[in-house]
Amino acid sequence: MSWYAIDAVDRAFLRAKKALFEPFDFWKWVKLAVIIFLLGGAASNYGGSGTNYRMDSEDFGNNLPYVEPGQIPGFPSGMNGIDPYHMYFPEPAGVIIAVIVFLLLLALLISYISSIMEFVFVESLVKNEVKFWAYLGEFMGKGFYLLLVRLALGLVFLVFFAIAFLPLIPTILEEPSDVSVPVLIGGIFWFIVVLLILALVGVAINSFLSLAIPLSIYRNTGILSAFGLVFANFRKSWKEVIVYWFVRFLLSIGIAILAILLFGITMLFLGLIFLITDGILYFLFSALVSDPLVWILLIPFVLIELALIFGALLFLNVPLAVFMKYHLLSFLETWFVGAEIPFFDAPVQEPEKGLSEAEVNF
């Protein structure tokens, strides 16, 4: 058995070094940071609440002037006759449904962009050229099919989870006093086991999909066909994939520890600099304007500082994400015979020079 996953670590390190530092290109890093950010996806949910309070004349005492029903004093005559009790307001259920639909559409859009970025990221690293808009237009179709596959897999997992949850429904519907402790513990244990199994299967399928994406690009095939090729090769050399998963697990732990250290040091360093800067600005503004206005003037500076911290964290994440993706590609290059990944550092084979007719006659 060959140790493809271990050998791929050295090749991934060398390729990441060449791609990012030989030479260093600031705008290349910026584009990679944007791709990695969109690849991870981000979503924010905002909500609000309101209250309706109905007031009577007794709330203000007995010194209010008499107002005829249906009349509004102080308004033009055309405005009188308005009945607030018959005015139309959006139903809460309709607002909730609209918000849910909007969030679902937003989640689908973000997932679609993330699916496209999977292909854009691979192509950028393989060719060592980050052509964001060109790759975006090229892989919109493949990204859409990848999104459909992921949605279908998510639906299948949801169905399996619901089926596994069915035995627990009678226990949940029983009165609390009728539920025995062994049955409750058994139900919790069953729930945890089902979640663990589904999580492991999901991780394995996601790993197969990640390996199928480069094959879909460079063998010019669909994502499902590429997935089938990966799974067929897994059946022939499953031990290599097990070692690959174990190596990826160890690398993920190391990358996570390194990321925490780098992010912590960066935030501490930038935080101290920005704290000193804000203190100086505060005393300067205090000498010119009142205290409430000082805080208003500081808001733009704080927003800029937060944007700089966020950008610095994205930059620090670039070499980590690039290394992990190069490890996947380097493993796939050797594990899957005929992957045909045209790496930028692949040796160029010079064509053989044949003898000319004059040389042959000579």
Per-domain boundaries in the chain: 4-39+88-341
- Mean pLDDT for 135-163 is 92
pLDDT at 179: 60
95-107 pLDDT tens trace = 888 899 999 999 9
pLDDT > 60? residue 81: no
Report the pLDDT averaged over residues 74-98.
Answer: 60
pLDDT at position 114: 94
- Average pLDDT of the chain? 82
pLDDT at position 84: 52
pLDDT at 90 (0 to 100):
57
Stretch 148-170: mean pLDDT = 86
3-class secondary structure for the chain? CCCHHHHHHHHHHHHHHHHHHCCECHHHHHHHHHHHHHHHCCCCCCCCCCCCCCCCHHHHCCCCCCCCCCCCCCCCHHHCCCCHHHCCCCCHHHHHHHHHHHHHHHHHHHHHHHHHHHHHHHHHHHHCCCCHHHHHHHCHHHHHHHHHHHHHHHHHHHHHHHHHHHHHHHHHHCCHHHCCHHHHHHHHHHHHHHHHHHHHHHHHHHHHHHHHHHHHHHCCCCHHHHHHHHHHHHHHCHHHHHHHHHHHHHHHHHHHHHHHHHHHHHHHHHHHHHHHHHHHHHHHHHCCCCHHHHHHHHHHHHHHHHHHHHHHHHHHHHHHHHHHHHHHHHHHHHHCCCCCCCCCCCCCCCCCCCCCHHHHHC
Q: What is the pLDDT of residue 354?
A: 47
pLDDT of residue 183: 67
In this predicted structure, the answer to whether residue 339 has a pLDDT above a threshold of 90 is no
Taking 50 as the threshold, does the pLDDT of residue 294 lie above it? yes
* pLDDT at position 224: 94
Q: How large is the average pLDDT for residues 126-130?
A: 93
Residue 174 pLDDT: 64
Instruction: Provide the percentage of residues in the chain whose pLDDT is more than 70.
Output: 77
What is the mean predicted confidence (pLDDT) over 161-165? 83
- pLDDT number for residue 313: 92
Look at residue 62 and tell me whether its pLDDT is greater than 50.
no
Span 9-53, pLDDT tens digits: 999 999 999 999 988 999 999 999 999 999 984 333 333 333 343
